[in-house]
Amino acid sequence: MLQELSDWFWQERLWFPEGLGWADLEDQDGRIYAKGQDLWVALPIALAFLIIRQIFERMVALPLASLLGVKETVRFPVSHNPTLESFYCNTSKNPTQSATESLCKQTGCSERQVQRWFRRRRNQDRPSMIKKFKEASWRFTFYLLAFIAGLAALIDKPWFYDLKEMWEGFPVLTLLPSQYWYYMIELGFYVALLFSVASDVKRKDFKEQIIHHLATIGLLCFSWCVNYIRAGTLVMLLHDSSDYFLESAKMFNYAGWRTTCNCIFIIFAAIFIITRLVIFPFKIMYCTWVYPVTIYKPFFGYYFLNGLMFVLQLLHIFWAVLIIRMAIRFLTTNEKVDDERSDKEETDESEEEEKDIKKETMTNGAVQNGYVAYNNNRCKSE
């Protein structure tokens, strides 16, 4: 049954224009073509990336963070409170007013103490500044090297300058060594991102990131199997052209270099909008959606490829809205650029509390465990 399903799925009329098929992609006369089994190479490459990343973060990212002056935010610890911890883990990290009042009755704490406990507890779950910096520096390094490698692999190719050339002779297109390694390394990197997603910094667009990774992996695998490799390499290069600017802006943001971060972010925003909202839909997608039907009849593979491209374009629009919103706020108010996808570190109000404690100490007596000993019905600690 599985064999029958496989035969049906890979039938030639689904994936190739009329009159062409898998036989046209068999190696002959010294010409080598892409094969589906080649994609398994991406798995050991992904594993290698995971290992290299750990070494990079310890040997390169940490010293670089120290050099740039990345500092951790001081986070106040919370005392063990089974009732509040149970509510935090099982019910909500942001209790409503009624829930807060109920927790006050259960624990004997004041409303202010309960709210402060939840603020500090949420801050403890947020990734540290060093962790964010290490992740950004790793991605910056990869995207920069990938962009340079992709540019070197495509700069002398005719389809880099005339996109219609990507279909010249399709699908009988000889596989070049540079294309092979460019594909496998990029595919291995995105597979590694999926493997590490559980431990990476989770942002508000976490689901969109997962969809992006899956769509990218699907696009790379599909374009490889049916020899849309020229289009695939152009898409990869286009995406890498702006990503390293974003990651470098994050790095300087975490280091507190406000002016440098803002300048790089504006450059990133400009490149992102030009590449993702102009070149990708009106150049790349035009040559995968409009132009091909002038040389062959549409088929399932044609729709499948453009469907994945369309998913990527929707994500581009989603992220462009966030980027434009941040850019407008920065240009109009000259505020520090902050990633809207990240949860903000909550203030602890420690200075205000210390002033209140000093005042109350003068009238009520000694402080116990950082709080005034109000009475026996109040929490003595957090």
Kindly report each contact of residues 109-118 with a partner whose C-beta sits within 8 Å and lies 24 or more positions away, as own/partner: 109/378, 109/379, 109/382, 110/374, 110/378, 110/379, 113/371, 113/378, 113/379, 113/382, 114/84, 116/348, 116/349, 116/353, 116/382, 117/78, 117/81, 117/84, 117/382, 118/84, 118/88, 118/93, 118/94
- Write down the mean pLDDT value for the chain: 81
- The 10 Å Cβ neighbour count of residue 241 is 20
Residue 335 has pLDDT above 70, yes or no: no
Distance CA 114, CA 112 (A): 5
Tell me: do 215 and 117 sit in the same domain.
no
Q: Which of 82-91, 145-154, 213-222, 284-293 has the highest mean pLDDT?
A: 145-154
Residue 16 lies in a domain: no
Is the same domain home to 140 and 257?
Answer: yes
- Residue 361 within any structural domain of the chain: yes
Highest mean pLDDT among 247-261, 321-335, 368-382: 247-261
Answer yes or no: do 136 and 171 share one domain.
yes
342 in a domain, yes or no?
Answer: no
Range of the domain at 147: 32-67+129-333
- What is the distance of C-alpha 87 from the center of its chain? 30
Nearest to 174 by CA among 25, 333, 329, 17: 25
Strand partners, 31: 28
Same domain as 265, residue 229: yes
Q: Where are the alpha helices (DSSP H) in 26-70?
A: 42-56, 62-68
Q: Is the pLDDT confidence value at 57 over 90?
A: yes
Asked if residue 367 and residue 241 are part of one domain, the reply reads no
Query: What is the C-alpha to C-alpha distance for residues 148 and 153, in angstroms, rounded to an integer?
Result: 9
Domain membership of residue 381 (yes or no) is no
- List, for residues 239-263, the tens digit of each pLDDT value: 999 999 999 999 999 898 988 998 9
DSSP 197: T
Kindly state whether residues 295 and 308 are assigned to the same domain: yes
- Which of 223, 139, 138 has its CA nearest to residue 182? 223
User: Is there a single domain that holds both residue 309 and residue 260?
Assistant: yes
Helix, strand, or coil here: 26? coil
Task: With respect to residue 230, please indicate whether it lies within any of the assigned structural domains.
Answer: yes
Q: Is residue 264 part of a domain?
A: yes
Residues 235 and 108 in one domain: no
Question: Is residue 353's pLDDT more than 80?
Answer: no
Q: Whole-prediction pTM value?
A: 0.77
Which pLDDT does position 339 carry in this prediction?
54
**Bond from prior residue into 171 cis (ω within 30 degrees of 0):** yes
Residue 344 is predicted with a pLDDT of 52
State the pLDDT confidence band at 204, using cuts at 50, 70 and 90.
Answer: low
Q: For residue 41, what are the contacts with CB-CB under 8 A and spacing of at least 6?
A: 184, 188
Burial 191-223 (b: 16+ CB within 10 A, else e): bbbeebeeebbbeebeeebebbbebbbebbbbb
The pLDDT of 12-19, averaged and rounded, is 78
Do 184 and 41 fall within a single domain?
yes
Identify the CA nearest to 81 among candidates 116, 52, 48, 51. 116
Total of domains in the chain = 2
pLDDT value of position 343: 47
Asked if 224 and 258 count as a contact pair (C-beta separation under 8 A), the reply is no
Contact (Cβ atoms closer than 8 angstroms) between residue 34 and residue 224 = yes
In degrees and rounded to multiples of 5, residue 31 shows phi and psi of -95, 130
197 and 301 in a single domain? The answer is yes
Asked whether residue 368 falls in the same domain as residue 253, the answer is no
The answer to whether 94 and 118 have CB atoms below 8 angstroms apart is yes
Distance CA 238, CA 275 (A): 6
Contacts 24+ apart (CB under 8 A), 158-162: 159/230, 159/234, 160/234
Report residue 133's pLDDT band, with 50, 70 and 90 as the boundaries: very high
Spatial neighbors of 192 by CB under 8 A, at least 6 apart, are 46, 47, 49, 50, 53
Max mean pLDDT among 126-140, 142-156, 298-312 falls in 142-156
> How distant is the alpha carbon of residue 329 from its chain centre?
22
User: Is the pLDDT assigned to residue 359 strictly greater than 70?
Assistant: no
For residues 302 and 355, state if they share a domain.
Answer: no
| Residue 43 belongs to a domain | yes
User: pLDDT of 103-131, one tens digit each?
Assistant: 888 888 888 888 888 888 887 777 788 88
Tokens for 18?
A: 């009329």
Confidence of residue 334 (pLDDT cuts 50, 70, 90): low
CATH of the domain at 97: 1.10.10
Say what the alpha-carbon torsion angle 138, 183, 280, 168 is, to the nearest 10 degrees: 160
Which is more confident, 275 or 111? 275
Average pLDDT rounded to a whole number, residues 157-175? 86
Residue 270 placed within a domain? yes
